[in-house]
Amino acid sequence: MVPLPRRAFLAGGLGGLALSPVVRGVGRRPDDEAAWADVSAAWDPTPGQLNLESGGVQAPTRAVDEAFLRTWDAARRLPPVHLLREQLPRLEEVRSALAAAAGFPAEEVALVRNTTEALQNVLLGWPLARGERVLTSTQDYWRLQEGLDQRVERDGIGIDRIRLPVPLPPDGEVVARWLGAVRPQTRLALVCEVVNLTGQVLPVAALTAALQARGVAVVVDGAHGFAHLDSSPADLGADAYGTSLHKWLGAPFGTGFLRLRRDRVAGVWPLFPSAARRRDDIRKFESLGTIAAAPFLGILPALDWWRRVGPSAKLARLRFLRDHWLAAVADDPRVRRLTRVEDNGAGAIATLSLPGRDPRPVAEELRRGEGILVRAIVHPEFSGLRVTPNLHNSVADLDRFVAALRRCLHD
């Protein structure tokens, strides 16, 4: 369970950042539409558009957005005072609140703009000699794969990419596949917590322990893990963890964090250089020059919102919504589920393959003809439609989607 101590939020110093009055404590049943309508009212809907594409970037709630805009507005009026003297120093409060919510020591958490920035720092800065190898999967995120490919060209490292079956087999088999690919030269593994293509949740804690026991350090891509799953990222035991807070936490765009285990900090080169005296300081990964504070200060009301909804209540509701639409299409011979949902194998995200069809025109027809946003996934090993409900969606939204999908597939 994510700890989310109340103290962390109070220490976060929310002064001036209004909290949404909407959420009244945890304990809603996942299928209680009236109770969740209360939560979904925290977002501003776009008329005519049904957003089932929360698998990319997510819409912040109105309260987060308003806090962000107020902070931004103050900064733009008198930057030397409001930005430099008042707001940027408060990022230390954000670090503490975020670290407490994630279960990490604050001195291991760097504020960065997204998962890409978090993990390119690690993948490009990790000490690897020519001939040493990184292990990952063909379903890990493409942009991070590009970082590794650059190291192959620049430093002569090697990469092994395993293939994971779709849907994902039981956890033991997944761990065995990864372990089977470890070579004597393998030093590092890049592992996705939740695969963005299918929503599949990997057994990262077991995998991390097994890889570390073989001398392989583990970097976890938590882009879709944090504030989506209700487990604490600290329980994964990884050497490094990166996530984007503009995904499941619903913080302002361009926010994320990197967690690097204390004993690893000094050994990783930051992408943007920092003074040698900061070699052992996690802040060396924040040497970007002048940045806006408003997105990062917007993390505080987003954390508060998440705590008040309740991480477990949120995940249970998301799974309920997912299972509702999956049940409605289960017997349709024109679709096949690519996501294993049994045994907590997934959260909100699920992907359907459309045998014999290209999912791209179907997604386009849903968008143009029906005002429904889902994502077409095209990967060398499979393709499908990815559907990602969020707390702003209802059962009625998913019924509307299923009816529209049936119309689109009827020809």
Ligand X SMILES: Cc1ncc(COP(=O)(O)O)c(C=O)c1O
288 residue type, one letter: L
Q: Which helix (H) or strand (E) holds 362?
A: helix 359-370
Establish if 361 lies at the interface with ligand X (CB under 6 A).
no
223 vs 348 by CB, closer to ligand X? 223
Q: 191: which 2 tokens?
A: 């592992």
CB 351 within 8 A of CB 384: yes
The size of the interface with ligand X (CB under 6 A), counted in residues, is 12
Report d(CA 220, CA 178) in Å as an integer.
14
**Which of 196, 198, 351, 353 contacts ligand X by CB under 6 A?**
196
136 vs 186 by CB, closer to ligand X? 136
Report d(CA 120, CA 366) in Å as an integer.
35
Q: Where are the beta strands (DSSP E) in 125-272?
A: 133-137, 158-162, 186-192, 217-221, 240-244, 256-260
44 residue type, one letter: D
CB 132 within 8 A of CB 157: yes
Q: Specify the stretch interacting with ligand X by CB under 6 A; choose among 86-94, 98-106, 111-119, 175-183.
A: 111-119
Q: Specify the stretch interacting with ligand X by CB under 6 A; choose among 109-117, 166-174, 296-304, 358-366.
A: 109-117
β-strand pairing of 133-137 with 158-162: parallel
CB of 204 to ligand X, least distance (A): 12
**Which of 51, 114, 339, 388 contacts ligand X by CB under 6 A?**
114
Report d(CA 125, CA 370) in Å as an integer.
46
Report d(CA 122, CA 267) in Å as an integer.
10
CA–CA distances in Å: residue 12 to residues 20, 98, 226, 294, 405: 16, 9, 19, 14, 44
54 vs 71 by CB, closer to ligand X? 54
**Which of 192, 207, 326, 354 contacts ligand X by CB under 6 A?**
192
**Which of 61, 115, 136, 353 contacts ligand X by CB under 6 A?**
115
Give bridge partners of residue 14 from the DSSP assignment: none
138 residue type, one letter: T
56 vs 156 by CB, closer to ligand X? 56
Window 128-157: residues binding ligand X (CB under 6 A): 141, 143
28 vs 340 by CB, closer to ligand X? 340
Window 205-234: residues binding ligand X (CB under 6 A): 221, 223-224
Window 29-58: residues binding ligand X (CB under 6 A): 56
The rounded radius of gyration (Å) of the Cα atoms in the chain is 21
CB of 55 to ligand X, least distance (A): 7
Site string for ligand X, 231-250 (x = CB under 6 A): -------------x------
Residues at the site binding ligand X, with contacts judged by CB under 6 A: 56, 114-116, 141, 143, 192, 196, 221, 223-224, 244
